[in-house]
Amino acid sequence: MLGKGVVGGGGGTKAPKPSFVSYVRPEEIHTNEKEVTEKEVTLHLLPGEQLLCEASTVLKCVQEDSCQRGIYGRLVCTDFKIAFLGDDESALDNDETQFKNKVIGENDITLHCVDQIYGVFDEKKKTLFGQLKKYPEKLIIHCKDLRVFHFCLRYTKEEEVKRIVSGIIHHTQAPKLLKRLFLFSYATAAQNHTATDPKNHAVMFDTLQDWCWELERTKGNMKYKAVSVNEGYKVCERLPAYFVVPTPLPEEDVPRFHGHGIPIWCWSCHSGCAFKMSALPKEQDDGVLQIQKNFLDGIYKTIHRPPYEIVKTEDLSSNFLSLQEIQTAYSKFKQLFLIDNSTEFWDTDIKWFFPAESSSWLDIIRRCLKKAIEIIECLEAQNMNVLLLEENASDLCCLVSSLVQVMMDPHCRTRFGFQSLVQKEWIVGGHCFLDRCNHLRQSDKEEVPVFLLFLDCVWQLVHQHPPAFEFTETYLTVLSDSLYIPIFSTFFFNSPHQKDTNMHQRQLSLPLTQSKSSPKRGFFREETDHLIKNLLGKRISKLINSSEELQDNFREFYDSWRSKPPNYHGLLLPHIEGPEIKVWAQRYLRWIPEAQILGGGRVATLSKLLETMEEVQRLQEKIEERHHSQEALQAEAASLLRTSARLSSLFPFALLQRHSSKPVLPTSGWKALGDEEDLAKREDEFVDLGDV
Amino acid sequence: MSLLRGLLGMELIGRSVRLFLDFQEKPASLGTFFILIDKEVIYICPFNGPIKGRVYITNYRLYLRSLETDSALILDVPLGVISRIEKMGGATSRGENSYGLDITCKDMRNLRFALKQEGHSRRDMFEILTRYAFPLAHSLPIFAFLNEEKFDVDGWMVYNPVEEYRRQGLPNHHWRITFINKCYELCDTYPALLVVPYRASDDDLRRVATFRSRNRIPVLSWIHPENKTVIMRCSQPLVGMSGKRNKDDEKYLDVIRETNRQVNKLTIYDARPNVNAVANKATGGGYESDDAYHNAELFFLDIHNIHVMRESLKKVKDIVYPNVEESHWLSSLESTHWLEHIKLVLTGAIQVADRVSSGKSSVVVHCSDGWDRTAQLTSLAMLMLDSYYRSIEGFEILVQKEWISFGHKFASRIGHGDKNHADADRSPIFLQFVDCVWQMSKQFPTAFEFNERFLIIILDHLYSCRFGTFLYNCESAREKQKVTERTVSLWSLINSNKDKFKNPFYTKEINRVLYPVASMRHLELWVNYYIRWNPRIKQQQPNPVEQRYMELLALRDEYIKRLEELQLANSPKLSDPSTSPSSPSQMMPHVQTHF
């Protein structure tokens, strides 16, 4: 009844050149008509979540083995997510669903995760925003986690189309008030059953003790002191309630410029330490300038005298990256992975390197890693302290300082150590997540993926030195996704002050804050923890104590480190040559069925490792049992991955999208060779046909 | 240890055979008897600057040891790797280290040596190098004929065509083994043994040969064990400008098609781009037209010729040696087109494999002569289809069969012992194939028994001339030179040190078809091969994950052993039934199947 619809745009009318080609015709869509009526999937709502609007008989288009398949279902929009409810999981076996994301289903898109919405009108793809005069026949949603959804609305009732399309546009694009964030309604509703994990050891840095502990851990307590001068954010709302400054710094200096111009301690090592400092406000008035100058001179004098000696100042506001550059690069880069269909994938394939490079995203990663190495060289080889300077000390300061710590401090390569680092440098350090992720849709100008850039830099390190980390790339990928899930409050505030005031007003208790530091815990089902937690990594607690000779050259320092086998418990530097900086394939390619390697990819070796790991554990238990009793239990612990020897390279993210083992064949041909044309025309060999 | 001996093993000068061990151990005691050159030079290292060293040249290798205390540099280069030796600077050239030799190698590096400017100090070195790097130009034998290394295993025994065809279930009702080419009179670049349709007589074959370039008729490479579709290889038909037809050829292809009753089409893959195939008509070649071959479908695979591939690899060298392009890495990589060529070769092979695996039809693959692109396509398709070829010995057989026996012109493509570095016949076709294999092993890290070192050692000895394996252009030439009697096989070296070349993650899976994803998003430059000379890029060896896995495996074995011991100690009563089922084999059911 539905399959015989007439395709629009036919006939002799001169249509404008289509900018979007729908590769699926209604007659090509294979649907099981029974599904339409019989399979109703119930909408699962989180505590506090409310249904806003919905539409039925929406067709979700899925690419499968180079043909398109349509699944009928309901499209709903709540105050938390957009969800498609259809019988999509029919072909999935248990192995795959075992690794389901607990919060976000395969067809769920949180409102914050929506990046762009397109409508298809007469085969033309247009960006949708604001009030619509005409409603599209197809809705395409590009997500910030790089998923692409196609919803065909051709068979949906007109008023339902209007309601759902304008609902989705409104709830994802209209500016929002902070207090309207879903996490508040969730917290209120879920208060009773928010479980705190007692095993959570991540340090939150919201008490004086946390800072003292960190000082002690890094042996910085001789020269630095934790201060509570900003308790209750009396001095500055941008600074945390507690922080660490050089011991001789008079506490009364802190409030002079509302915390600006105060060197705030980040981290110490045996040979130096890193500070960050926000720049003083730019003043026109000569008198004020003079006062500022005198103040800074005083500060420098304080930190220049023994035991601080030399301080190298790195001004990250100039001579390094601009936030604008980062944003532009990422917008171009992500576009390479937001692929509408198979044809587009293969059409862009042969020319893929060029746009990937011209986005500069990889080059920006390289520059960040290089900057971190430069700073490490100062700290490690030249025994200098480093002062990172930035206007608000909350973007590139966070990035560079945390990269330095990941490379120098093995504790930061453990799971809790890494979470503590994120907490210290980014959350308490006042990175404006709300603005940088544009969660409230208030200003596009502030949107810059600084934290994502940091994760990508860390990924490069994890990729190059997997045994040095307690976590795997999957952990980082999941972490990057949780930026857009407004259940965890971690990434939804601009500063600890903002969080404290808002959480306080709403009488929220800490449990929520607790769970956010470890968004991973319970995010996947417990078994997957195995995968996320890098079993290769050992608990590392040793502090760096290698003594590097003083070298005045970055290259020399770097080459000398590279010439030795890496010590996974010590200083860890990335390789930054062109071929070494790679695309974070797991994050960027995971939803693209064409890019899926069936039964291959890194997960193939990882699952072998896990298998052996489990076996060794089982054997170990058996040996212990043997010691205790004669009766050996023959309990066969279910192996995590045993039955699924052929995981896809997209595991555990995209569920198996290609069911058959048919190969994917590139559909685009060869491009011109340009100046080699004459060579191409030549014969392989001179064919002498005299004797034929 | 035996490998080390192998690498630095016996070398022969004149008629004397002597064994000498590691140069590092006692270079002074070796005497000039073995060493043709022994002098101090400055090695101009592109990465660490000039290094003073002592160079020793034998008839097999150039060896340099640093004389500087802070540098552990050692160069050990088989002379076979040298493609070109140039003099740099003159006796009056100014500047430091401006006088010396510049050596271009086939393995993506250059070596520059500076010598003292007085007394023609480079002359002997130049002459000796030229003489022994290019023995053919001096009527000298290639080193492989002088090499008297001994190995526990004889690599020449690895490939036996009759056995390999028997493994494939041949001959059968439809396919026979023919000895028509026993003395290479049907086709001098084909092996002696061929598999052809049962219904085609030897006379038919002779008539078909007249219509195929260089008499390379369609013969069987591989047969699917279940659906019985086949991969055939051949050269282009001699259609020419006038569009000649040959009834015998047409009938022959139809006979091939009919070996499978259930399909009514035969698929022909012409590896070339369409335009090149058309252009080939001018020189008498061409492709199978629809009119003449009713029951065949023809597809072009758009793979370029040997000249394009050679230039592409040259560009790769430009961007990786000595310095790696840093911030514009991807665009410079793209400008070499190397990975695009890899993509097209893999795409072609996937198509061939899919056609056969799905049982849609039998496949005939050809390019112009059927010894370059054809060999790439058939061998890669076979690697995807047949898990046997993914084992160490299986891969050796695959190379031996599809490349060596079917006449890939190794001598011309590599230029063993030949001084003509600019020869247009040279081309990295085999390297490209090995690169494709590497790409596959990267995408399927558990599917191959061999590791990266295995592929690299094959490539190293593709040039080294230490083994007879890759010498000469075809089987008939090899037979004439008695290569198997007079030289050692590379597989002897590899198979007597198999552990070194094993991939610990290997999981044997019979009948699993592997389809790599031929997308630029997954293809990468093989850094550990192409950029291996650059100490800044060099990857950790062994790979840390692999190392950790090996440790785990060792731990597992140790526990199994301990458990066994405990069982023995704890259960003196043999009658106790509860202890007997816990033998390691039953306890670890899936371990046994996986390893």
User: What are the average pLDDT values for consecutive 10-residue runs of chain A, which has 692 residues?
Assistant: 36 42 44 46 86 93 74 93 78 52 86 95 90 92 95 93 94 91 85 51 88 90 87 89 88 83 87 80 78 81 68 83 96 94 89 92 95 91 86 92 96 94 94 94 92 98 93 93 89 91 54 36 41 37 31 75 86 92 93 87 87 90 76 46 60 61 66 63 58 42
Nearest to residue B81, comparing CAs of B107, B58, B99, B101? B107
B64 compared with B3, residue with greater pLDDT:
B64
Nearest to B355 by CA among B299, B271, B403: B299
Q: Tell me the pairing of strands A108-110 and B175-178.
A: unpaired
Q: How many CA atoms lie within 13 A of A77 on its CB side?
A: 20
Q: Does B248 carry a binding-site annotation?
A: no
Do residue B347 and residue A687 have CB atoms under 8 angstroms apart?
A: no
Cβ distance A244 to A224 under 8 Å? yes
pLDDT > 80? residue B575: no
Closest residue to A600, CB basis, from B337, B444, B552: B444
Q: Is B370 annotated as a binding residue?
A: yes
> Residue A679 is nearest to which of B308, B443, B515, comparing CB atoms?
B308
Bridge partners, B62 (sequence order):
B57, B77
Cα separation of B234 and B212, whole Å? 8
Between B572 and A122, name the one with better pLDDT: A122
Chain B hits for A683, CB-CB cut-off 8 Å, are 280, 283, 305, 368
Q: What is the pLDDT of residue A87?
A: 67
Provide the 8-state DSSP code for B323.
S
Interchain CB contact of A630 with B (< 8 Å): yes
Give the separation between CA A615 and CA B407, rounded to whole angstroms.
48
Q: Alpha-carbon torsion B19, B23, B25, B26, what sign?
A: positive
Beta carbons within 10 angstroms of residue A1's beta carbon: 7
**pLDDT tens, position by position, B375-402:** 999 999 999 999 999 999 999 999 999 9
**Which residues of chain A make contact with B72, given a CB cutoff of 8 A?**
none
- Lowest mean pLDDT segment, chosen from A545-559, B21-35, B116-130: B21-35
Across the interface, whether the CB atoms of A684 and B213 are under 8 A apart is answered: no
> Which among A537, A532, A639 has a CA at the least distance from the CA of A586?
A532
CB B398 within 8 A of CB B375: no
Substitution target from A665, A687, A689 for chain B, most B beta carbons within 10 A = A687
Nearest to B521 among A565, A577, A589 (CB): A589
The widest CA-to-CA distance across chain A, in whole angstroms, is 101
Q: Do B444 and A683 touch (CB under 8 A)?
A: no
**For residue B237, what is the DSSP state?**
B
Chain A CB contacts of B329 under 8 Å are 357, 577-579, 581
Q: Are B47 and B535 in contact (CB under 8 A)?
A: yes
Classify residue A358 by burial, with Cβ atoms within 10 Å: 0-12, 13-18, 19+: middle
Identify the closest residue of chain B to A578 by CA–CA distance. B326
Decide if A611 and B590 are in contact by the 8 Å CB cutoff: yes
Preferred mutation among B242, B473, B517, B590 to probe A, highest tally of A CBs within 10 A:
B517
Residue type, A634: Q
The SS3 of residue B102 is strand
CB B306 within 8 A of CB B372: yes
Rounded to whole angstroms, the Cα distance separating B305 from A347 reads 23
What DSSP letter does each residue of B427-480 carry, written as one string? --HHHHHHHHHHHHHHHSTTS-SB-HHHHHHHHHHHHH-SSSTT-SSSHHHHHH
- Which residues of B are annotated as catalytic? 367
Residue B528 exposure: Cα atoms within 13 Å on the Cβ side: 17
Interchain pair A665, B325: CB under 8 A: no
Residue A44 tokens read as: 């699962």
Query: Would you state the pLDDT for residue A43?
Result: 86
- In percent, the amount of chain B with pLDDT more than 70 equals 89
| Contact: A619, B563; criterion CB under 8 Å | yes
Q: Which of A598, A601, A623 sits opposite B566 (nearest CB)?
A: A623
Report the candidate in A425, A432, A434 with the shortest Cα–Cα distance to residue A388.
A425
Query: Contact A585/B333, CB-based, under 8 Å?
Result: no
Among chain A residues, CA nearest to B556:
A616
Specify whether the CB–CB gap between A259 and A238 falls below 8 A: yes
Task: Provide mean pLDDT across the span B424-429.
Answer: 97
Q: What single-letter DSSP state applies at residue A470?
A: S
- Chain A CB contacts of B509 under 8 Å are 645
Smallest CA–CA distance from A690 into chain B, residue: B284
- Residue A210: its pLDDT value, please? 92
**Which residue spans within A259-345 are E strands per DSSP?**
264-269, 272-278, 311-315
Buried/exposed A34-71: b ≥16 CB within 10 Å, e otherwise: ebbeebebeeebbebbeebbbbbbbbbbbbbbbebbbb
Among the ranges given (A579-593, B62-76, B224-238), the one the predictor scored with the smallest mean pLDDT: B62-76
| Of B64, B354, B134, B416, residue with least CA distance to B229 | B354
Give SS3 for B302: coil
SS3 B331: helix
Distance, CA of A497 to CA of A430 (rounded, Å): 9
Length of chain B: 595
Nearest to B279 among A601, A608, A681 (CB): A681
Q: Return the structure tokens found at A164.
A: 């759902």
Q: For position B241, what pLDDT does the model report?
A: 94
| CA-based nearest residue to A165, from A143, A182, A145, A140 | A140
Whether the pLDDT of residue B141 is over 80: the answer is yes
B308 contacts on A by Cβ (under 8 Å): 673, 676, 679-680
- Closest CB to A619: pick one of B304, B354, B556: B556
Q: Which of B47, B427, B536 to mutate to test the interface with A (most CBs of A within 10 A)?
A: B536
Average of per-residue pLDDT across B279-286 = 95
What is the pTM assigned to this prediction?
A: 0.87
Cβ-based burial of A596 (10 A; exposed 0-12, middle 13-18, buried ≥19): buried
Nearest Cα of chain A lies from the Cα of B307 at a distance, in angstroms, of 6
CA proximity to B152, closest of B436, B496, B434, B439 = B496
Contacts of B549 in chain A (CB under 8 A): 605, 608-609, 612
Q: Which of A112, A110, A120, A35 is nearest to A74 (CA)?
A: A35
Q: Looking at residue A533, what DSSP letter applies?
A: B
Q: Is A244 on the interface with B (CB under 8 A)?
A: no
Residue A282: its pLDDT value, please? 72
Tell which A residues from 440 to 479 touch B, by Cβ distance under 8 Å: 465-467
| Burial class (CB within 10 angstroms; exposed 0-12, middle 13-18, buried 19+) of A270 | middle
* Residue B335 annotated in ligand binding: no
Q: Which of B552, B557, B565 to mutate to test the interface with A (most CBs of A within 10 A)?
A: B552
Q: What is the pLDDT of residue A560?
A: 85
A662 touches chain B (CB under 8 A): yes
* Chain B residues within an 8 Å CB radius of A687: 213, 280, 283-285, 368
Strands of the sheet with B37-45, listed across from one edge? B74-78, B61-66, B49-57, B37-45, B110-114, B100-105, B82-88
Tokens of A405: 């710590």
Average pLDDT over residues B181-202: 97
| Spatial contact of B241 and B251, defined as CB atoms under 8 Å apart | no
Q: What angle do CA B521, B526, B532 make, to 5 degrees?
A: 150
Contact between residue B37 and residue B128 where contact means Cβ atoms under 8 Å apart? yes
The rounded mean pLDDT for chain B is: 88
Q: Work out the average pLDDT over B562-575.
A: 71
Instruction: Determine the Cα–Cα distance for residues B254 and B257; give it in Å rounded to an integer.
Output: 5
Whether residue A661 lies within 8 A of chain B, CB to CB, comes out as yes
User: Which residues, other chains included, contact B228 with Cβ-Cβ below 8 Å and sequence gap of 6+?
Assistant: B174, B259, B260
Of B305, B447, B549, the CB nearest to A612: B549
**Cβ <8 Å between A611 and B368:** no
DSSP state of B81: G
CA distances from A485 to A80, A109, A299 (A): 9, 9, 41
Length of chain A: 692
In total, the C-beta contacts within 8 angstroms joining chain A to chain B are 244
**pLDDT at residue number A543:** 26
Per CB-CB distance under 8 Å, the chain A contacts of B302 are 669-670
> How distant is the Cα of B560 from the closest Cα of chain A, in angstroms?
7
One-letter identity of residue A637: A
Q: Do B544 and A670 touch (CB under 8 A)?
A: no
